[in-house]
Structure 1
Amino acid sequence: MTQRFHQVLSSLLFTFSLSAQAGSGGISLGQTRVIFSSADKAQTLTVSNSGQQAYLVQARVQNGLDDTTPAPFIVTPPLFSLQGDSRQLLRLLPQGATLPTDQESLFYLSISAIPAQAEPVTAANRLSVGVRFVIKLFYRPQGLALPADNTPCLLTFKREAHGVRAINPTGYFQTLGMLAVDGHTVALDQQPAMVPPHSSITLAVDGPVNKVAWQTLTDYGGLSQSCQQTGSASTETTP
């Protein structure tokens, strides 16, 4: 069945990659990210079909957006039929891999769906629209120095020749949801906005950098408290 799914998927004329919030053809996910604590035995995620069309769905965890090698998590069921106006609960299970204990690890949950065919059709007559969701799975070890909610304002920013560098001294992945430099909003949809643990990224910004304001994405996909930096100090500005 899995081989047949790959054959059908590879013959699709149209395939869309979507966020979990952008349902298509009635298919949607119950959350925008998965946080997997090292103490968890499993995590769950709901796939819903609000339309009438049945879909064949495949779910898997991969190491990167373009790296489809097996990740240290499995999804059950990995392949299933989702009828119209129904839901399927997925379980994500760890596979016992040794992962860093001083910082988060990042994986990607990929969920692909194609319309189910009532009868066999030839490739020449097939005009199916596939949908694909890719959301982040964060593996979070216990014992990190601070709770995740306390870390957004620990980011610091430094002017560089080609922009501003965001520096993350924490063990968490910090994804910028809003960034403003000297009152001007920085477009984050066309450049990397996630700062890995104990690392940094450079964002394209023109002009001087005197005051930086930002918010990061929370575990639930919302925005954190507002933070700002004037000069070399960063502070929390809202609860």
Structure 2
Amino acid sequence: MRICTNGIRFFLLTFFGLFPLYSQADIVISGTRVIYPEGKSAVTVHLDNRGERPLLVQTWLDNGTENKSPDEIDAPFVITPPITRIDKDHGQTVRVIYTGGTLPQDRESLYWFNVLEVPPKDDSSASANKLQLAFRTRIKFIYRPRSLDGDLASALKKVKWNWGRNKKGYFFTVTNNSGYYLSMDKANIDIADKNYSINTEMLSPFGTA
């Protein structure tokens, strides 16, 4: 059976041409990650509305299961206020409070701080053919135990690189021997007068990638 893809492309272009999309986040989060040191009563995160309209904003934490709803996630933290309205050119500070529980003491624990911004409903006739989208942003939220050895500078010195060779060529592994989560954009290694660029993701405590 032959399928006419030209007709499908035309339909998709026509469909999306009728509905202008709003895909830019208006809420700006203060920072790219949040660190919660053990012993603090709470940490704060500031949100600013840089858009042109008021927004309803919901915040919550997840433990990596990003497709679950907030009420399905079990995290030892509460956020106040969890839902708030932020007007144009205004901000809101939310507090994250640790509720207690057993978390590892020899390594950091990683969660994700979620911000969902929902635009107000527009009942005007001019908005009849506009598709409004809720925009979600996630940043790292790290609980850091007091008993963690060293600091980030010393943690970088505990990263070990190894390489080998098989039928497909060279392969590389990197091991994080510290209790910290480490992020590196990329690494370059010289082997046999050749330079290899390696893309690395976040390294888990005591993990190998």
Task: Please confirm whether the aligned pair reaches a TM-score higher than 0.5, indicating the same fold.
Answer: yes
Do the aligned residues in 2 keep the contact of 1:65 with 1:108 (CA within 8 Å)? no
1:186 aligned counterpart, secondary structure: strand
Aligned letter for 1:46? Answer: H
Among 184, 187, 190, which residue is 1:179 paired with?
187
Distance in 2, Cα, partners of 1:138 & 1:40: 13
TM-score, with length taken from structure 2 = 0.75
The 1:59–1:120 alpha-carbon spacing in structure 2 relative to 1, beyond 3 Å, is farther
TM-score, with length taken from structure 1 = 0.67
Which of structures 1 and 2 has the bigger CA Rg? 2
1:86-235 pair list within 5 angstroms: 86-119=90-123, 127-160=131-164, 161=166, 163-182=171-190, 183-188=195-200, 193-201=201-209
Among 63, 67, 72, which residue is 2:76 paired with?
72
The CA deviation at 1:14 is 6.6
Superposed CA offset, 1:8-67 (max 9, x none): xxxxx9786xxxxxxx34321111001111111111111111222111111000111436
Aligned structure 1 segments of 4 or more residues deviating by more than 6 angstroms:
none
Do the aligned residues in 1 keep the contact of 2:22 with 2:131 (CA within 8 Å)? no
What RMSD, in angstroms, separates the aligned Cα atoms of the two structures? 2.5
Q: How many residues were matched structurally?
A: 177
Any stretches of 5+ residues in structure 1 without a counterpart? Answer: 1-12, 17-23, 202-239
Distance in 1, Cα, partners of 2:81 & 2:204: 30
Any stretches of 5+ residues in structure 2 without a counterpart? Answer: 1-19
Do the aligned residues in 1 keep the contact of 2:56 with 2:120 (CA within 8 Å)? yes
In terms of fraction of residues, the more helix-rich structure is 2
Aligned letter for 2:181? Answer: F
The 1:101–1:15 alpha-carbon spacing in structure 2 relative to 1, beyond 3 Å, is farther
Distance in 2, Cα, partners of 1:35 & 1:172: 11
1:151 aligned counterpart, secondary structure: helix
* Greater Cα offset, 171-180 or 159-168: 159-168
Do the aligned residues in 1 keep the contact of 2:185 with 2:199 (CA within 8 Å)? no
Aligned letter for 1:112? Answer: L
In terms of fraction of residues, the more strand-rich structure is 1
